[in-house]
Amino acid sequence: MPRHLIDITDLTTEEIDGLIATAEDILDRPDAYQDVCKRKQLATLFFEPSTRTRLSFESAMLSLGGNVLGFSSAESSSTAKGETVTDTVHTVSCYADIIAMRHPKEGAPFAASQVSEVPIINAGDGGHNHPTQTLTDLLTIHRERGSLSGFTIGFCGDLKFGRTVHSLVNALSRYTGIRYIFISPLELKLPRYVKEHALKQRNIPYEQTTDLSAVMPELDILYMTRVQKERFFNEEEYLRLKDSYILTPAKLSDAKPDLSILHPLPRVNEVSVAVDRDPRAVYWKQVRYGKYIRMALIMFLLGLTPPPVTTSLP
Ligand code: CP
């Protein structure tokens, strides 16, 4: 049976730590990895738009010496003729060694994993989960803070539909010494199922507020998110909520000097472009790290080991 990544909890914390260590090694010596996936093929099946996830997966596989195939919209596949997701994945698993898929329906990657003979990676399913963004976020936190424990993190924006938030809370709840502050409009609070599963069952306390300014001085990490237009059934409701939080340099005036501002991107206008110049804004580094952690994940799911470190004699 192939190993899949559908939910971040499919990986143990030891495995996550190992992926982070591998990604950091790739960052240090990328050339050592250039042939690890020679003659392997990655298929990217994106039934929903993407820039970072799809292209970072493709760049990751190409940098490992492998090849890529796939499609970037449902309309350009036989889905447009009525083919089911499972038949599509069954077909592609005959051509590729590993598949990364994004789908607007929650649970579609899990259904795909039931018929695939090759590893399936959930590259985002509706408003549910986005485990490879979480690996990217964890690598970013690790590189910025040197640890995945002992900090206060504020999640701000659309916590209801924000799949990156759901997966990251699930991942962090298995590490220790983390204080959680959820900042959102009342209509976009973190879903009860995420709170129950990740936090309440583990007796992890958390705070909820609508006021970002009030908690800003307490944060070590601020995880900003976009209000997810595509998940709203009601345009009026989206327009009313979309600008609930707009982070500007002025709003950071009483933030900690070593705050790390993360955002999975894309942004609309919840983070002012002027914030990009603040050294505490690390979301462009986060984008870059996404490729390296995906390189580590592809190797892991294909059962390929990192190349050994060779040291030359003096
Ligand atoms: N963070 C993220 O999933 O970005 P894309 O939608 O561009 O892939």
Angle between helix 52-63 and helix 131-145 axes, rounded to 10 deg: 70
Instruction: Report the chain's mean pLDDT, rounded to a whole number.
Output: 95
Planar angle of CA 184, 109, 160, nearest 5 degrees: 10
Chain segment 198-215, per-residue pLDDT in tens: 999 999 999 999 999 999
Tell me what pLDDT residue 103 has: 97
Is residue 49 reached through a cis peptide bond, with omega within 30 degrees of 0 on the bond before it? Answer: no
Active site residue 145: no
Convert the pLDDT of each residue in 66-96 to its tens digit.
Answer: 999 999 999 999 999 999 999 999 999 999 9
pLDDT at 113 over 90: yes
Is 230's C-beta closer than 6 angstroms to any atom of ligand 1? no
Task: Report which ligand 1 atom has the smallest distance to the Cα of 56.
Answer: 8
Choose the catalytic residue: 4, 40, 102, 163.
102
The answer to whether residue 166 is catalytic is no
CB of 53 within 6 A of ligand 1: the answer is: yes
> Cβ-count burial of 196 within 10 angstroms (0-12 exposed, 13-18 middle, 19+ buried)?
exposed
Query: Does ligand 1 come within 6 angstroms of the Cβ of 51?
Result: yes
50 lines ligand 1 (CB under 6 A): yes
Q: How far, in Å, CA of 279 to CA of 103, rounded?
A: 34
Q: Is the pLDDT of residue 176 over 70?
A: yes
Burial of 260 (0-12, 13-18, 19+ CB in 10 A): buried
**Which ligand 1 atom sits nearest the alpha carbon of residue 130?**
3
Number of H helices, E strands in the chain: 10, 9
Assess whether 52 carries a catalytic annotation: yes
Alpha carbons 113 and 115: distance in angstroms, whole number: 6
Instruction: Give residue 305's pLDDT.
Output: 87
pLDDT computed for residue 228 by the predictor: 80
Give percent of the chain above pLDDT 90: 90
pLDDT at residue 153 is higher than 90: yes
Average pLDDT over residues 228-254: 87
Q: What was the pLDDT predicted at 312?
A: 63
pLDDT confidence of 313, banded at 50, 70, 90? low
With CA atoms as reference, report the closest residue to 245 among 220, 218, 215: 215
pLDDT of residue 310 exceeding 80: no
Mean pLDDT calculated for residue range 128-154:
97
Q: To test the ligand 1 pocket, which listed residue (50, 229, 270) has its Cβ within 8 A of the most ligand atoms?
A: 50
Does the annotation count 102 as an active-site position?
A: yes
More confident: 237 or 72: 72
Residue 176 Cβ contacting ligand 1 at under 6 Å: no
Evaluate if residue 237 carries a pLDDT over 90: no
In which residue ranges of the chain is CATH 3.40.50.1370 found? 8-129+290-301, 131-287
Where does the pLDDT of residue 236 fall: very low under 50, low under 70, confident under 90, or very high at 90 and above? confident
Cα of 311 vs centre of ligand 1, distance in Å, is 38
Residue pair 8/286 in contact by the 8 Å Cβ criterion? no
Find the catalytic residue in 81, 192, 202, 277: 81
What percent of the chain has a predicted confidence (pLDDT) above 70? 98
Question: What was the pLDDT predicted at 90?
Answer: 96
Q: Which of 229, 222, 287, 308 is nearest to 259 (CA)?
A: 222
Give residue 49's identity as a one-letter amino acid code: P
Give the model confidence (pLDDT) of 242-301 as tens digits: 888 999 999 999 999 999 999 999 999 999 999 999 999 999 999 999 999 999 999 999
> Is residue 311 very low, low, confident or very high in pLDDT (cuts 50, 70, 90)?
low
CATH of domain 8-129+290-301: 3.40.50.1370
| Top CATH class, 131-287 | alpha beta
